[in-house]
Amino acid sequence: MKKLKQSLFLIGLMTTLTVSAQEYKVVTIIESIVPMGAGRSRIIETQGTPDVNALTTTREGNKSKQDLIEREDLKEIGENMKETKLLNFYSLVGINFGNIASNDAIIAAKINEVVKQGWSVAFITSGVESDSGTNDGKGIFITRMFFVKK
């Protein structure tokens, strides 16, 4: 009986210590806050997995080898993506709350779609670069949703 308890304890400990690999997915939402609806708003989801080691160099003091990595290699990664159209925050007369409500529904549908594929929301972060005055006329609201799958 004692050996059985010890065996069960070891099996339980091994099961607890088993590390499961996790995979992450990032979905980015860009919502334009350019006046008069002139901006572009999208949900962006990249496809495939880049070789991050091929894009990484080692810095030695002040000497960087980043110039050995071609911009075209980085741009190729972004060419293969899913793009979902959203509405802009602003219309001709100002903030358009109907557009915001439509975007909320589309974003919720996207989250539900990704969750149905077996992903879980790990965390969400956002930031804004807003219109800084009469001569700016530019701005975006960016949200990154990080999903995890075991």
pLDDT in tens, 102-130: 999 999 999 999 999 999 999 999 988 77
Q: Which residue has the tokens 């091929």?
A: 54
Q: Which of 4-8, 83-87, 100-104 has the lowest mean pLDDT?
A: 4-8
131 burial type by CB count under 10 A (0-12 exposed, 13-18 middle, 19+ buried): middle
**Closest C-alpha among 131, 127, 63, 48 to residue 94:** 131
Q: Which of 39-43, 79-83, 138-142 has the lowest mean pLDDT?
A: 138-142
Burial 100-123 (b: 16+ CB within 10 A, else e): eeebeebbeebbeebeeeebeeee
51-67 pLDDT, tens digit each:
788 778 888 888 877 77
Please state the pTM of the whole predicted model.
0.75
pLDDT in tens, 13-72: 555 555 567 999 999 999 888 776 677 899 999 887 887 887 788 888 888 777 777 777
Distance CA 83, CA 41 (A): 10
In contact, 88 and 41? CB cutoff 8 Å: yes
Instruction: Supply the pLDDT for residue 139.
Output: 78
Contact between 32 and 41 (Cβ < 8 Å): yes
- 90 close to 34: Cβ distance less than 8 angstroms: yes
